[in-house]
Structure 1
Amino acid sequence: MSDRSTSDAQRYLRAPEAAAHLGLSWQTLAKHRCYGTGPRYHKLGGRIVYALADLDAWAAVGLKTSTSDPGAGRLSPALRPERR
């Protein structure tokens, strides 16, 4: 029998699957990747893949219990960073 938490932590999702896991469109996830505001990813050959654990860790940064809760951090929108 395999441990589910171990197998999920080592599971990789392609960009469209990763976006669906997060409830985002694949275009939004691509923007986050380009702007450096998204979850960590791996480039394997020509493919972009995300570790399930990295997706969940990135989403957890924005976890809040109420509108007044400062939470653990802030997830940036998928916007181009301002140039100085």
Structure 2
Amino acid sequence: MTEQTYLRRDKAAAYLQERYGAYTIDTLAKLACVGGGPKFRKLGPFPVYLPRDLDDWAQSRMSRTVSSTSELGAGSKGANK
């Protein structure tokens, strides 16, 4: 069995801020309601996140590496092409 570290929402937001410079506790709370956020589980009343799920989600929202925004083209926001 592998050891897993679950982060409560405040720690998950801090993790994303430190690692990617983006996302707040309010954003994670909103996305948990409307969808489109990172995977989470409930531990009693608390949402908890795995760091690997946070990383997968954040990376899925990033574009490919480019030298200019013109390389992204229209409609490719977050596309990993």
Q: Same fold by TM (over 0.5)?
A: yes
Displacement of 1:72 in angstroms is 2.4
Runs of 4 or more above 4 Å deviation: none
* Paired position in structure 1 for 2:50: 51
How many residue pairs get aligned? The number is: 66
Letter in 1 for 2:8: R
Structure 1, unmatched stretches of 5+, are: 1-5, 74-84
* Paired position in structure 2 for 1:81: none
Q: CA RMSD in A?
A: 1.9
Structure 2, unmatched stretches of 5+, are: 18-22
Displacement of 1:11 in angstroms is 1.5
* Paired position in structure 1 for 2:35: 36
Letter in 2 for 1:16: D
Percent of matched pairs sharing the same residue: 44
Provide the secondary structure at the position in 2 that maps to 1:48: strand
Matches within 5 A, 1:54-69: 54-64=53-63, 65-66=65-66, 67=69, 68-69=71-72
Question: Normalising by the residue count of structure 2, what TM-score does the alignment of the two structures yield?
Answer: 0.69
Distance 2:45 2:61 in 1: 30
Question: Normalising by the residue count of structure 1, what TM-score does the alignment of the two structures yield?
Answer: 0.67
Distance 1:48 1:15 in 2: 6
Distance 2:8 2:51 in 1: 10
